[in-house]
A = this chain, B = another copy of it.
């Protein structure tokens, strides 16, 4: 059965975004340091419509992850800034006309909205909860896995519900000292973790855990 996995870059002190996230700094202060290992990779650049970039083990892992998921789930905060209804000129995502997903993306939100198609990415807005989003994402993914892309709050909802099969955490060699913690708000949920793969590089340490 296809898996539900959460993949994210985290600082060694547990943050997936820095403090004071905003329209100008969607990753918060210093948050871009979590992704420095990724943004120069060939696979990352290709998914963002750019050529060139570094190859190697980090790049292979990134490409495997891109290929592995048939659909993506994200929280409203990852799709756009601020809470509240979409309004007359609704936010189109952070990523411009050609978002880097190139597959179906399901956005958890409290506010209804028609699907948004940008190039080969379709954003579907799901208002009836994470289980419904997962069901729709599984349908869209077919035989492939479903990725929870973030943010922390979306991941926490699925961890609390016991629905996550795997965590794939890229530990950046960075201490942010503040911001958004990946593992806050588990509210007594006690997911069991089993290490299944560790890959090191000079830039980042990749930790893969089975979750049960």
Chain A contributes a number of interface residues (CB within 8 A of B) equal to: 29
Note all chain B residues with C-beta closer than 8 A to A191: 175
Indicate if the CB atoms of A171 and B13 lie closer than 8 Å. Answer: no
Known: A14-B14, A183-B13. A173 touches B188 (CB 8 A): no
A195 at the interface (CB under 8 A from B): yes
Q: Kindly state the separation between the CA atoms of A182 and B169 in the bound complex, as whole angstroms.
A: 19
A-B pairs with lowest CB-CB distance, top 8: A198-B200, A13-B183, A173-B193, A14-B14, A173-B195, A177-B186, A198-B205, A175-B183
Question: Contact partner of A205 among B195, B201, B204, CB < 8 A?
Answer: B195
Indicate if the CB atoms of A195 and B202 lie closer than 8 Å. Answer: yes
Note all chain B residues with C-beta closer than 8 A to A198: 198, 200, 205
Indicate if the CB atoms of B207 and A171 lie closer than 8 Å. Answer: yes
Indicate if the CB atoms of B194 and A188 lie closer than 8 Å. Answer: no
Known: A13-B183, A14-B14. A190 touches B171 (CB 8 A): no
A12 at the interface (CB under 8 A from B): yes
Note all chain B residues with C-beta closer than 8 A to A188: 177
Known: A174-B193, A175-B186, A200-B198. A207 touches B205 (CB 8 A): yes
- Give the Cβ gap from A56 to chain B, nearest Cβ, in Å: 15
Q: Which of A176-198 contact B (CB under 8 A)?
A: 177, 181-183, 186, 188, 190-191, 193-195, 197-198
Report 22 cross-chain contacts, Cβ distance below 8 Å, ordered by A residue: A12-B183, A12-B209, A13-B14, A13-B182, A171-B207, A173-B195, A173-B209, A174-B193, A175-B186, A175-B190, A175-B191, A175-B193, A177-B188, A177-B190, A195-B201, A195-B202, A195-B204, A195-B205, A197-B200, A198-B198, A198-B200, A198-B205
